[in-house]
Structure 1
Amino acid sequence: MLAGVGPVRLVLFVVAADEGWKPQSEEHLQIVDVLGAAGGVVALTKADLVDEQRLAAARAEVIERLRGTALEGSRIVSCSAATGLGLDELLAALDELIAAAPEPERAGRARLFVDRVFSIRGAGTVVTGTLTGGTIALGDEVELYPTGRRARVRGLQTHKRPVEVARPVSRVAANLVGAEREELARGDVIGPPGAWRATRWLEARIRPVRGLAHPLTARGAYKLYAGSAERDARLRLYGTDEVGPGGAFARISLSAPLVLAPFDRFVLREVGRRETVAGGVVLDPDPPIRPGPDAAERLAAREVAAPEELPALLVAERGAAREADVLALTGRLPATAAPAVRAHGWWISAGLLAALQEAVRRDLQRFHDEHPLEPGADVAEVRRIIAEALRSAGRPAEPELLEAAMEALIERGALAREGPTVRLPSHRPRLDEHAEALDRLVRAVADGEPTPPTVPELLAAGHARELVEAAVRAGLLVRVSPEIVLTPGLVERALAEIRAAGAAGLTVSAVRERLGTSRKYAVPLLEHLDERRLTRRVGDVRVAREP
């Protein structure tokens, strides 16, 4: 009964009029009920074998048994396969049921629950199952879940008819190229590459079947049935030791991976008692490793959410999620109006981004106050600030997320990046507050030219390194090497000497003599002019480039 029943939403429920309601009828109704069937028709068969009084009693019993279930109010048709009695009425009832049923999802993620795998000589591997969610077409590349193996669809049949496109909800046979029979098993799923994520843990609301004669607890071993799959399952109940009539939130551990989506329904059977004990609705197919103290609140929000609200809810729960993860776990992306920001392959919740922005603003402001002459902090320092803020929010500081968060803050104008530094948009180096110190520094270099003090000598003389860097950025000094700074005037004088030499150019020695300096300064000065493409080296001489 349970094999492959997961995707079924409309039911033809059969009760024999001469036998009446049987224990297996009750179990079948329990399963249909917990799977949330959208409607059904009851066929009261073998009507030719009973008299009118017994047929009426059987009908009354069915009506009473269906009361309070998903099939309450379903049309009951008395019929007989032997005589043909009521078959036309049964077919009409089924047509009406289908016509009134809501349209199945057709534009979502295709998911073919595999219930059979076999090989055909000359064709290869064939799988059969029920297709839901979206279409599969000839030539499509598909992924075999949970193994991750890729294959191509070579042939398709629906209800034994060849088709080019298989549409949901239908029975489908697919001939696959690139997949061996041994690589597939009952319960696997065929779908678009990367569209699904297999799981061994899920969170759900479970409800006991009606009439359960014993308490439903986390103790014992269970079997979980979903789609066409059967898995051993262990339960962990949230906030209770026993599942009451209204149900309870639970975490379920599976013996092997299973492809599930939010709001999928499943059935639980207790192994020891060999009976169906509960059904459930998947709320989170990829729950956090630790449920946390707010697990019930988190799952309650998921329980009442519409499918289109799940992406934003997922991002809000996690603070940030890769776009590929959002698609695989919800089947869609957050709406443009959702409180989340898309940045470089990630979705970041507005709340987390605001916390990161405040942390970076606070620490960068402190940096600017302590280093007013610096244009900004190193990118690595800003990444460190973001990483600490992420850890404080309980989120791992993944390198890709650090970069995405920083770029999101830059795009929204909270930060400004200039080369290897990042600053607050309002920050500018405050040179005017250090004008006197800058003047002393520049005079110290100018007075020592053409052999000025090196940077280490300037630092030893009491000039701050930040002041030297600020003077270079402001153009008051020119850095020609890591340890040598010169005034712009001396650099321009060297360039003028080279230009005056014309095509003949000047050697290092000639420049050294004309400037009255030493090779220690002349070599890095000429290399600096080369790097700025003001001069070029031809053999042993430097020649000025055309302006």
Structure 2
Amino acid sequence: GAAGGGGAAGARPAAPAPLRATFRVDVALTWATPDSRPESGARVGVHHGTRESAARLVELGGRFFQLRLEEPIVPAGGDRLVIRSLAPPDTLGGGVVLDPDPRRHGPSRDLLARLTRLERGEPEPEAAPARPAPRPERAPLDPRALELEARLVQAGHEPPLDEDPELLAALREHGRAIRLGPSMHVHPDALDEVHDLVVEIIERDGQITLAQLRDALNTSRKYAQAYLEHFDATKVTLRRGEGRVLRRRPRT
């Protein structure tokens, strides 16, 4: 079937690494038919071994995609995946994991070149001689921290109030949770989506107000205010009267 699509047989991980649970994977996919290929941003079902999760499909160029999962999987480079529609659960295609724990990113020329090398099983190019000392390996997240991350992913832009400071500190250290005000943490993917929305509204309207963000997110004033204060503090936005503007020049 499509899950065994050609061209990816030589793919293997760039370097042996301990397996870890992840909510994102970069993959090379082959579709059962041209009509099977979903739109970028579509939600699909991802089947990996005995695990399955809904995921958002993000195009990276050509046959390369990032899958942003709603439930964690524990993949290795070279693992096979099957992609299905959510309802009815028809097989759309399949493919292979190239990067089992990537950062959240969109397409770029460098990324395309890197994923092509990974798919072919080619080694990474030699790095420049002067390299900083490698950072010490972080301890893997324990199951309770992963459960908390899953709850943050599910909560989206309306995260719960903080409960377990120790687990949140571990997630922060791994870049899997970001402090949103004194008593809330949000998953980075949700924060990125709100960031993109704020930038989009400001570029369209010249500014954003608390009421605008509240309505755009269909959320409460509490959350809208927490996001705007976070973006002020991280120097994305600047408060001007009742609204916020971008600190940087809008993209043209």
TM-score under structure 2 normalisation?
0.41
Question: Whose relative contact order is higher, 1 or 2, with alpha carbons under 8 Å and at least 6 apart?
Answer: 2
Structure with the higher fraction of residues in helix conformation: 1
TM-score under structure 1 normalisation?
0.20
Q: Specify the structure having the higher radius of gyration (Cα).
A: 1
